[in-house]
Amino acid sequence: MSDTHTTKGISQNGTNSRSGVKTSEKSSKVKEVLEDYRLAVISREVSYLGRKETLTGKAKFGIFGDGKELPQIAMAKQFKEGDFRSGYYRDQTFMLAIGELTVRQFFAQLYAHPDTKADPNSGGRQMNAHFSTHSLNRDGSWKDLTSQKNSSPDISPTAGQMSRLLGLAEASKVYRNEEVLNEDRFKKFSNNGNEIAWGTIGDASTSEGVFWETVNAAGVLQVPMVLSVWDDGYGISVPRKLQTTKASISEALSGMQRTSKKEGIEILTVKGWDYSGLLDTYEKAEEIARNEHIPVLIHVQEVTQPQGHSTSGSHERYKSDERLEWEDKYCCVSQMRKWILKEGYVDARELDDIEEEAKQHVKSEQKAAWKAFTGEIKAEQNQVVEILDKMISASANAKALKAIKREMNVPTVTLRRHVMTGVRKALRVTRNENLKSRQELLNWLDDSKKENYNRYHSHLYSESDDSPLNVPVVEPIYSDNAEEVDGRILLRDNFDKLFEKYPEVLVFGEDSGKLGDVNKGLEGLQDKFGDIRVADTGIREATILGQGIGLALRGLRPITEIQYLDYLLYCFQGLSDDLATLHYRSAGYQKAPVIVRTRGHRLEGIWHTGSPMGMIINGIRGVHVCVPRNLTEAAGMYNTLLRGDDPALVIEPLNAYRLKEKIPDNLGEFTVPLGIPNIIREGTDITIVSYGSTLNICKFVLSELEQVDISAELIDVRTLLPFDRNQLIVDSLKKTNRILFVDEDVPGGASAYMMQKVLQEQDGYFYLDSEPTCLTAKAHRGAYGSDGDYFSKPNAEDIFEAVYEIMNEANPAKYPAIY
């Protein structure tokens, strides 16, 4: 990237072209101070001009890092190659300082320029100030992360960046302590674990639970993390005294301060306007975290926010005149100017020159970003106008086409959507005309749709050769005398093979280590592979998931255990907002192939009986959702996923751990294809579609249906995301012309999702001879006890009668009503 410290009028060799004074003639300290001041002013001007661009309508929304320039410059000085940032949307100065952002790129993101060359952070997919570096090459292969400065992809949800920070820091501990990771192929991820994970957060956001989870877990794990809290006294309009105990996060956390006798975290405080104090504090924090491998929290106090929270409102509405006067006085940029003059480094005229040059530089780069953004759209608009002119000259609807052409030129800022609207309206108006120019416009639209797919829709899932959808199918191989074992033994032995095969695999969760998980699917593996690769955690689902995300971002393959499906709700925000969107929002330049392992379905009682599959599949698009019916299938799914590079959720059926299954000879090798259903039993009268534990009940009912001469075809969907990629279910429906969807989600949940997929997307509607039916659980959670399960979720009798009722409607003579 270009040198962000170079501004208009300042040459690469350090000569100030206006004053004629060579910076090289000054002391190195003075040179460094002036460069830092120059950068602080540039960043402040970016904030000022960015706000203007937003309020004049060129951008949709603006949020900026004004007031935090000096602490971020101090932090950047200690940020080394291989380090990772997990920050939030105030960190523009930091990104400029480490050379991973230019002024032009900042404005490109502000305008939502959908081009990763213009906006390498997200290709216009994220609003401004959401930063990300490139961990991947365009083909999806890993770059050398140790030779670059890294930032994980930012998210907007308050404190959402915290849980991921924990995993980024823990990765250094793993790489430092696991000898199996000394192979050359892992050298691109870590230099003996010497990397620090740097986190940033606003003071008000420390009220969120995930912040406390992260700080507590970091103290327990003792990982190299430096967490900066920017404290400007407010959370939008709510003052600090209503946010934090003792109105101070460092005082509130003081009980976690490490001592000579007990481990904990190091807590440092510093003023946000104190340039020299900030330099000393961050130097100390870096030395502690990198050398001692422990977490450090820096409470950066007395930070200002000159323009308020964002462009959505004014802070004058809730700040007193006295507060506003204080903020003006203690603005870190003006305080640094005063300090420079007091130290006698340069005179006021030279600082004036730096400020003016910085302003002109920012303005020039903003104009270049705007020209690049609008130029692409204008070129497309010109192409369309040229075609429209041809249509106008030949169409009977010339008047309407002229109006469409005029409408395209009305907006003050022409966007791509305005051009596309005009094209689609023109095609609508001329739908009854056979014009050569109309076909030309259709061709333009087809080409544009392909380009817009890449701009706005690509990389929800992996598009690399390593996608799990490309993993070849390897069937389980059984000896003639294959042993039948409890399902959990099969799963445990498969994990054993995977841990031997992949040194980068590790698993952690509540009771996963010493106990070997609550169902003993990991029994004995901690003794064999150690307590880093098979680890226990506290009861803290949000940061268990966050550990997984951070570890995966650094090249490891974590399996994060959420003990029961119900507990997924504790980490669902991270699953939905962070993991599911990570590959997409980085435009395919970062990946976190976490496997989330949990267990569920059919357990009795309100708090363990939930199967909120509709909520899950609609909330985590971007994550594969696997719903195996037994543990052989589950093992095959783990084998597939570890050969791929996408994140996934695997929900093991709770009632399968003690059921007998034959153990395959090729443990760790056989695979289950994602999105390819399995026909459990062929039939001719009706198709039954299900998954997980309910599928097994459907299987039990098949023999009872045969007794009344009903031939049912039973299909296990295996995965809900992806769903039936080869449209096997509609092929079954073409044969049977009747279909029943069965699951234990609430009405309108995953069964409705499956119905929509088959009837609408697969055109199954055209092959129906009977009304399609969904059989689900009741709207409430399952009541306690076996009777509660029977009356709350689909049972064998419910399934039999649902099938029979469909057949009764089709042929009442053969299948007379039961009731």
Adjacent-strand bridge partners of 598: 651
d(CA 482, CA 693): 24
- Interhelix angle 69-77/275-292, rounded to 10 degrees, is 40
d(CA 170, CA 646): 21
Strand pairing category for 648-653 and 595-600: parallel
- For residues 371, 376, 379 and 384, what is the CA-based torsion angle, rounded to 10 degrees? -130
Beta strands 712-716 and 686-690: pairing type? parallel
Per residue, the 3-state secondary structure of 184-199, as one string, reads: HHHCCCCCCCCCCEEE
Tokens of 716: 């296990």
Instruction: Tell the burial category of 304 from Cβ atoms under 10 Å away from its Cβ (0-12, 13-18, 19+).
Output: buried
Q: For the chain, give percent helix, strand, coil, nearest 5.
A: 50, 10, 40
Active-site residue (options: 299, 309, 583, 608): 608
User: 739-742 and 686-690 as β-strands: parallel, antiparallel, unpaired?
Assistant: parallel
- Let me know if 608 is a catalytic residue: yes
Integer Cα distance of 419 and 265 in angstroms: 55
Distance in angstroms (rounded) separating the CA atoms of residues 112 and 104: 12
Here the tokens at position 210 are 């995930």
How many residues does this entry show for the chain?
A: 819
Token pair listed for 811: 């042929």
Amino acid at 799: I
Q: Which of 496-532 are b and which e, b meaning 16 or more Cβ less than 10 Å from the residue's Cβ?
A: bebbeeebbbbbbbbbbbeebbbbbbbbebbeebbeb
Whose structure tokens read 């997919």? 125
Q: Which amino acid makes up residue 756?
A: Q
- Bond into 722 cis (ω within 30): yes
CA angle centred on 556, ends 551 and 560, rounded to 5°: 60
Residue (of 508, 511, 536, 541) closest to 209 by Cα position: 541
**Closest by Cα among 293, 94, 74 to 195:** 293
CA–CA distance, 77 with 99 (Å, rounded to integer): 11
Catalytically active residues, by annotation? 608
